[in-house]
Amino acid sequence: MFSQMSLRPGVPLQATLFTLCETAAKALRGRLSAPDLNRLQAGLTLLYDPAMHGTAGEPLLDGVDSQRRAVLVVEHGKTAWVFDPGKTADQLLQAATSAAQVGSPALTSVFSLAAQSTEPAAAISSVPRPQTGSQVRPPAVAGMFYPGEPRELAKMIDDLLADGDVQPADWPGVLVPHAGLIYSGRLAAQTFRRVRIPPTVIIIAPKHTRQGVDCAVAPHEIWSLPGAQMASDPGLARRLADEVPGLQLDAAAHQQEHSIEVQLPILARLAPHSRVVGITLGAGDWERCRALATGLAKVLRSLQPRPLLVISSDMNHYASDDENRRLDEIALQAVETLDPAAVYDTVVARHNISMCGVRPAIVVMETLRQLDLLGRCVRVGYETSAAVSRDTSRVVGYAGLLFGAAS
């Protein structure tokens, strides 16, 4: 199916139809035989006259005539619309939110549109399909977030790990930053050094790109790095995708994502024989985070030794140094309450702090809480990008945290 959607007025119908026909012709060229083309039938659905109806969390659908109107949902970059005169407006909304794989109903806009169609029913979703990818995930940000030359990278890791002697201990979870290693690598390295790293590491990170599905487990067998590599655990990755609601195996979401990759050079030095499973998370409200954590905790209960859970997260972005530190202290104090719901309320709902890994943090904290492993939080350190850039006007915050059972 081919579609074009714009909620702005004045979209030229004739030009839009011509563009869609061209797109369809290019997609079908060489794929169908002459007899197949003769049997091909085309349907057309026109949508117009958009009207807003609240959010998927609190929809206002009274008066929407499903005989004449379609229902559209929009969450960040994802959309889905459904037209089916045989359904009620509420049923259309349910079908659209399911097709869009909505993660935050309260942040999902709902519209209705007048519909004229040659078909008895029609639906379109912009949600990407999972991709298998290759066995080896090549580095995407080598030469940008860290040196791309093996000897230069090895020297940098030596320098990052050089500060003092630290006795590693058993910590079931950590939070580490994921900026360029020149900015946040020392704090990440010093945090990892304090952990006795088990044979398996699960890194849960935010999704910074629009590529791939919202909640994606990396399906690769190997993470490639300049001059090194780390193994993944495809069996565990498949199990997580099968048993944790909302997770899918998808290479596309990891193809250009840096928030897992920048942790790997440090882990490759400290625990070269460990396996790393990567998970990226997009949008999601508290309920979705809790559901992910419940599924993850269920899987982890059967694993011994338990994997280390790594939250990959920077703190607030692009305020002045003083303001960034103020907002980050609010977020860190919320994390130190050891209440994942309070973290969501504080960081997302009340203060809108741009901590990019807040959802990974909530998922990991709630997972540890359900496993009775969330009894204390220890700060390893905090700093901002101004420590390196010397620019205090526009900074990013970095924190290193250790999570463990009550001592």
Cβ atoms of 225 and 269 within 8 Å: the answer is no
Angle, alpha carbons 314-293-223 (nearest 5°): 55
Q: Which two tokens stand for residue 148?
A: 């791309």
Assess whether pLDDT exceeds 90 at residue 135: yes
For residues 175 and 98, membership in a common domain is answered with no
For residues 112 and 224, membership in a common domain is answered with no
Per-residue confidence band for 27, with pLDDT thresholds at 50, 70 and 90: confident
Within-domain flag for 301? yes
Q: Where are the beta strands (DSSP E) in 147-199?
A: 173-176
Q: Which two tokens stand for residue 240?
A: 């997580």
Q: What is the pLDDT of residues 177-210, one digit of tens each?
A: 999 999 999 999 999 999 999 999 999 999 999 8
**Predicted local distance difference test score (pLDDT) of residue 400:** 98
Q: Which two tokens stand for residue 62?
A: 């009274």
For residues 117 and 260, membership in a common domain is answered with no
What is the pLDDT averaged over residues 279-291? 94
pLDDT over 70, % of the chain:
98
For residues 173 and 192, membership in a common domain is answered with yes
Mean pLDDT of the chain: 94
CATH classification of the domain holding 389: 3.40.830.10
39 burial via Cβ count (<10 Å: 0-12, 13-18, 19+): exposed
**Predicted local distance difference test score (pLDDT) of residue 12:** 75
| 359: CB partners within 8 A, 6+ apart | 206, 281, 284, 289
Within-domain flag for 187? yes
Assess whether pLDDT exceeds 80 at residue 30: no
For 344, the domain range is 136-404
Within-domain flag for 39? no
For residues 92 and 141, membership in a common domain is answered with no
For residues 119 and 143, membership in a common domain is answered with no
- Last residue of one domain, picked from the residues 68, 92, 125: 125
Distance CA 142, CA 117 (A): 50
For residues 78 and 140, membership in a common domain is answered with no
What is the pLDDT averaged over residues 302-315? 97
Per-residue confidence band for 35, with pLDDT thresholds at 50, 70 and 90: confident
Within-domain flag for 15? no
| 333: CB partners within 8 A, 6+ apart | none
For residues 120 and 144, membership in a common domain is answered with no
Q: What is the pLDDT of residues 329-360, one digit of tens each?
A: 999 999 999 999 999 999 999 999 999 999 99
What is the pLDDT averaged over residues 283-291? 92
Cα separations in angstroms, 152 against 109, 148, 183, 317, 366? 48, 8, 16, 28, 39
| 227: CB partners within 8 A, 6+ apart | 150, 151, 153, 154
Within-domain flag for 22? no
Assess whether pLDDT exceeds 80 at residue 8: no
Assess whether pLDDT exceeds 80 at residue 15: no
Among candidate residues 315, 326, 396, 387, the one with its CA nearest the CA of residue 358: 315
Distance CA 56, CA 95 (A): 11
**Predicted local distance difference test score (pLDDT) of residue 25:** 79
What is the pLDDT averaged over residues 105-115? 93
Residue 280: what residue type?
Answer: T
Only one residue has tokens 């009550």, namely 406
**Predicted local distance difference test score (pLDDT) of residue 372:** 98
For residues 321 and 212, membership in a common domain is answered with yes
For residues 279 and 349, membership in a common domain is answered with yes
pLDDT over 90, % of the chain:
83
- The better pLDDT of the pair 36, 178 is held by 178
Residue 349: other Cβ atoms inside 10 A: 11
Pairing, β 275-281 against β 200-206: parallel
For residues 115 and 225, membership in a common domain is answered with no
Assess whether pLDDT exceeds 90 at residue 138: yes
Residue 15: other Cβ atoms inside 10 A: 9
For residues 140 and 274, membership in a common domain is answered with yes
Assess whether pLDDT exceeds 90 at residue 94: yes
Which DSSP string do the residues of 227-262 spell out, in sequence order? TEEEE--HHHHHHHHHHSTT-EE-SGGGSS--TTGG
Per-residue confidence band for 383, with pLDDT thresholds at 50, 70 and 90: very high
Q: Which DSSP letter does residue 275 get?
A: E
pTM: 0.86
Lowest mean pLDDT among 36-40, 104-108, 113-117: 36-40
- Last residue of one domain, picked from the residues 125, 155, 185: 125
Q: Which DSSP letter does residue 106 get?
A: G
Cβ atoms of 70 and 113 within 8 Å: the answer is yes
Pairing, β 308-312 against β 376-384: unpaired
Assess whether pLDDT exceeds 90 at residue 5: no
How many distinct structural domains can be found in the chain?
2
Q: Which two tokens stand for residue 3?
A: 């579609």
Q: Which two tokens stand for residue 80?
A: 């889905």
Assess whether pLDDT exceeds 90 at residue 157: yes
Within-domain flag for 16? no
Within-domain flag for 11? no
Q: What is the pLDDT of residues 215-263, one digit of tens each?
A: 999 999 999 999 999 999 999 999 999 999 999 999 999 999 999 999 9
Cα separations in angstroms, 201 against 108, 161, 187? 33, 19, 19
What is the pLDDT averaged over residues 54-65? 95
- Last residue of one domain, picked from the residues 80, 102, 125: 125
What is the pLDDT averaged over residues 133-154? 97
Within-domain flag for 117? yes
| 98: CB partners within 8 A, 6+ apart | none
**Predicted local distance difference test score (pLDDT) of residue 160:** 96
Distance CA 208, CA 331 (A): 20
